[in-house]
């Protein structure tokens, strides 16, 4: 058959075609590869792609050899994977390690760094048969909400090339939205999977803290970071999570749980389930079009027999301030290892040791990362620790208790993923606080370690709106069930942005 339409399919649809032998693994690979070669010059989702001739094995993104797991991989326990993703091409955020392929974290300071080992998430996808297409652009060290803090170039939103795709995992979101990957992985510390998924009209999950191993994920804020998938629909999200989730002895924060078959939770049954709609998520600052789309989705959910009641998460307004103390504090410690000695970039010239550290870090880190390191160092310093860091930890407990109280009454919470739809490139670059406010509905979920699923629920000004479902710890099966039911009832599944390789070629000509 012609490979023309393969890239528009979901993972589940592609697996079905592969099983029926209507298409081969190589054809699927070639279709994605060709689309990416033609379309990515416009969107710029990828930082590292395989060479133009393509490859038989997905392990060759960036031209490395497809040889095993590299030096650090031998002797690792076998992975127990609950889903086959055989021959499914995927994209990986460039803060996860793959042996033999550069890992930049969107930063100059990692220039030339090639990890000698694989992230456990990558090993698990490998074990499920998925093929790595390439590594995607991101805000430097995952600090940002627009992908504009990448040291290399900004990524564009496939729905409108003048808009940001969101961040920090903007490249992964844009790649899936534009059918340049069947699915992708990102990381979510305060919203970096859910916010770009919402902006690009795809499904994104921030799993429960500890559910997905972080071994081989470059640390940003260790008490908050989680790896999560971007997919074209909810079914795919459950499939990918069935391959990804599971205990890993190499990550001390990994939950001691066995792998789960999340696809089993995909029943459109929500009758009698109780949902809380936090009033703090629907108040000031939310765009009218976003509010309207969420209200419509709530109505549809009620129509399916669920009960939705307004509730309160009273400490929501402290979330941003709390997060922007805790995350930079942890980042300032985690980023101390980039000193020009062990990884990547080292300042040129002859320097004394201290001067070498300083020059390397001054030249290697971008402005947002420097801002975070300074905030983090400040809030941890002797005179200010109690006033900032300790107090933020206490408020974090209050945020967690808000959720505990809500889950005593409700099965799950529902609300918008972000206050606005995607904004213009450059719009928030001079105003860090405005940029931080993007995460007002996503970061409380990280502070409490909960799972959050976003799915497209409608459109405002022609741009996708994300609906966020928040569950109790390890409540992913419930979120998938609700998401699956809603996706069907709303009739919004795998929506397509108005980009195509030919449109890209035309606008390229128009630009020249
Ligand atoms: N936008 C938030 C930040 O800049 C969250 C980033 C993330 O989740 N990695 O820190």
DSSP category for residue 57: S
368 CA → ligand 1 middle, Å: 11
CA-to-CA distance for 410 and 405, rounded, in angstroms?
Answer: 9
pLDDT, mean of residues 29-58: 81
The H or E element spanning position 230 is strand 226-231
Active-site residue identified among 145, 168, 169, 254: 168
Given a contact cutoff of 8 angstroms between Cβ atoms, the answer to whether 327 and 369 are in contact is no
Q: What is the 3-state secondary structure (H, E, C) of 206-223?
A: ECCCCCCCCCCECCCCCC
pLDDT of residue 341 exceeding 50, the answer is yes
Token pair listed for 512: 């020249």
R_g of the chain computed on alpha carbons: 21
Question: Regarding predicted confidence, which is higher, 259 or 178?
Answer: 178
Beta carbons of 204 and 198 less than 8 angstroms apart: yes
Q: How far is CA 227 from CA 93, 197, 201, 396, in A?
A: 10, 14, 19, 21
The pLDDT, as a whole number, for residue 62 is 38
Q: Among residues 505, 465, 467, which one has the least CA distance to residue 486?
A: 467
Report the b/e string of 407-445 with b at 16+ CB within 10 A: beebbbbbbbbbbbbbbebeebbeeeeebbbbbbbbbbb
Contact 190 CB / ligand 1 (< 6 Å): yes
492 C-beta neighbours (distance < 10 Å), count: 21
Q: What is the pLDDT of residue 51?
A: 60
Report, as an integer, the average pLDDT of 375-399: 96
The enclosing H or E element of 419 equals none
For residue 137, name the pLDDT band (cuts at 50, 70, 90): very high
- Token pair belonging to 365: 């880190």
Average pLDDT over residues 121-147: 97
Average pLDDT, the chain: 91
How far is C-alpha 353 from the chain's CA centre? Answer: 37
Query: For 204-254, what is each residue's pLDDT tens digit?
Result: 999 999 999 999 999 999 999 999 999 999 999 999 999 999 999 999 999
Residue 1 has what pLDDT?
A: 38
Tokens representing 70 are 């590299």
Q: Return the structure tokens found at 447.
A: 């502070």
Q: Is residue 317 annotated as a catalytic residue, yes or no?
A: no
Q: Ligand 1 pocket: which of 165, 166, 167, 447 to mutate (most atoms <8 Å of CB)?
A: 167
Nearest atom within ligand 1 for CA of residue 187: 9
The pLDDT of residue 60 is above 70: no
Question: 106 CB less than 6 Å from ligand 1?
Answer: no
* pLDDT tens figures, 90-106: 999 999 999 999 999 99
Band of residue 77 on the pLDDT scale cut at 50, 70, 90 = low
- As a whole number of angstroms, the distance between CA 234 and CA 72 comes to 34
Asked if residues 389 and 326 have their Cβ atoms less than 8 Å apart, the reply is yes
Average pLDDT of the residues in 363-379 = 97
From residue 31, alpha-carbon distances to 8, 14, 136 in Å are 10, 12, 18
102 in helix, strand or coil? coil
Range 382-410 average pLDDT:
97
Q: What is the largest CA-CA distance in the chain?
A: 71
- pLDDT for 505 beyond 70: no
Reported as type and span, the H/E element at residue 162 is: none
Lowest mean pLDDT among 76-90, 273-287, 481-495: 76-90
Distance of alpha carbon 266 from alpha carbon 233, whole angstroms: 12
As beta bridge partners, residue 276 has 309, 413
Residue 401 has pLDDT above 90, yes or no: yes
pLDDT (average), residues 190-201: 98
Per-residue model confidence (pLDDT) at position 82: 77
Among 192, 213, 242, 254, the active-site one is 192
Active site residue 192: yes
Handedness of CA 215, 255, 467, 262 (dihedral sign): positive
Tokens 């801002």, residue located = 371
Question: Is 276 touching ligand 1 by the criterion CB < 6 Å?
Answer: no
For the chain, percent of residues with pLDDT exceeding 90: 85
**Cis before 168? omega within 30:** yes
pLDDT band per the 50, 70, 90 thresholds, residue 260: confident
CA–CA dist 126, 132 (Å, integer) = 8
Strands of 89-93's sheet, edge to edge?
Answer: 46-48, 131-136, 89-93, 183-188, 226-231, 203-206, 452-460, 463-470, 412-416, 274-278, 307-311
Please, what's the b/e burial string for 313-323 (b: 16 or more CB within 10 A of its CB; e: otherwise)?
A: bebbebbbebb
* Span from the CA of 350 to the centroid of ligand 1 (angstroms): 36
> Which tokens belong to 379?
């809030």
From 143, 209, 326, 373, the mutation candidate for ligand 1 (largest count of ligand atoms within 8 A of CB) is 143
Q: Is the pLDDT of residue 26 over 50?
A: yes
pTM for this entry: 0.93
| Res. 502 pLDDT band, cuts 50 70 90 | low
For residue 267, pLDDT over 60 is answered with: yes
* Alpha carbon of 491 to ligand 1 centroid (Å): 30
* Structure letter (DSSP) for residue 325: H
Cβ-Cβ contacts under 8 Å for 510 (sequence gap 6 or more)? none
Per residue in 445-485, pLDDT tens?
999 999 999 999 999 999 999 999 999 999 999 999 999 99
Token pair recorded at residue 505: 């070629």
Rounded Cα distance between 340 and 331, Å, is: 17
Taking residues 5-29, what's their average pLDDT?
Answer: 97
| Predicted confidence band of residue 434 (pLDDT cuts 50, 70, 90) | confident
pLDDT band at 66 (very low <50, low <70, confident <90, very high): very low
Interval 139-153 mean pLDDT: 97
């Amino acid at each position: 058959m012609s490979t023309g339409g393969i890239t528009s399919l979901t993972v589940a649809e592609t697996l079905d075609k592969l099983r029926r032998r209507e298409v081969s693994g190589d054809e699927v690979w070639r279709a994605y590869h060709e689309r990416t070669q033609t379309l990515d010059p416009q969107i710029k989702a990828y930082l590292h792609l395989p060479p133009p001739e393509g490859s038989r094995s997905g392990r060759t993104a960036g031209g490395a050899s497809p040889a095993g797991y590299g030096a650090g991989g031998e002797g690792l326990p076998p992975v127990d994977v609950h889903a086959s993703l055989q021959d499914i091409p995927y994209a990986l955020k460039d803060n996860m390690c793959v042996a033999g392929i550069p890992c930049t974290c969107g930063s100059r300071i990692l220039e030339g760094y090639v990890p000698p080992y694989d992230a456990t998430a990558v090993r698990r996808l490998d074990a499920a048969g998925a093929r790595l297409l390439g590594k995607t652009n991101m805000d430097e060290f995952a600090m940002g909400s627009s992908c504009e803090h990448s040291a290399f170039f900004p990524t564009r939103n496939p729905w409108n090339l003048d808009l940001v795709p969101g961040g920090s995992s903007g490249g992964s979101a844009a790649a899936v939205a534009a059918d340049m990957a069947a699915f992708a992985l990102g990381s979510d510390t305060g919203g970096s999977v859910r916010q770009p998924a919402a902006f690009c009209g795809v499904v994104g999950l921030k799993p429960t803290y500890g559910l997905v191993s972080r071994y081989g994920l470059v640390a940003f804020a260790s008490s908050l970071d989680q790896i999560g998938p971007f997919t074209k629909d909810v079914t795919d999200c459950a499939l990918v999570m069935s391959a990804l989730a599971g205990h890993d002895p190499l990550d001390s924060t990994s939950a001691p749980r066995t792998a789960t078959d999340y696809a089993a939770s995909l029943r459109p049954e929500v009758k009698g389930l109780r949902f809380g709609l936090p009033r703090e998520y629907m108040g000031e600052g939310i765009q009218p079009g976003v509010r309207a789309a969420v209200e419509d989705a709530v109505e549809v959910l009620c129509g399916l027999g669920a009960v939705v009641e307004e509730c309160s998460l009273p400490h929501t307004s402290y979330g941003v301030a709390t997060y922007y103390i805790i995350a930079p504090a942890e980042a300032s410690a985690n980023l101390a290892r980039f000193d020009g000695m062990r990884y990547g970039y080292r300042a040129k010239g002859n320097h004394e040791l201290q001067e070498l550290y300083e020059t390397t870090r001054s030249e290697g880190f971008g402005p947002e990362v420097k801002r975070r390191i300074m905030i983090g160092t400040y809030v941890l310093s002797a005179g200010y620790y109690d006033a900032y860091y300790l107090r933020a930890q206490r408020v974090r407990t209050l945020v967690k208790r808000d959720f505990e109280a809500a889950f005593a009454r409700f099965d799950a919470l529902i609300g918008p993923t972000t206050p606005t739809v995607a904004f213009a490139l450059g719009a928030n670059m001079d105003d860090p606080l405005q940029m931080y406010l993007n995460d007002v509905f996503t970061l409380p979920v990280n502070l409490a370690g909960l799972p959050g699923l976003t799915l497209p629920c409608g459109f405002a000004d022609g741009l996708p709106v994300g609906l966020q479902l928040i569950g109790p710890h390890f409540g992913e099966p419930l979120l998938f069930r609700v998401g699956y039911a809603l996706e069907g009832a709303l009739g919004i599944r795998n929506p397509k942005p108005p980009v195509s390789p030919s449109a890209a070629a035309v606008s390229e000509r128009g630009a020249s």
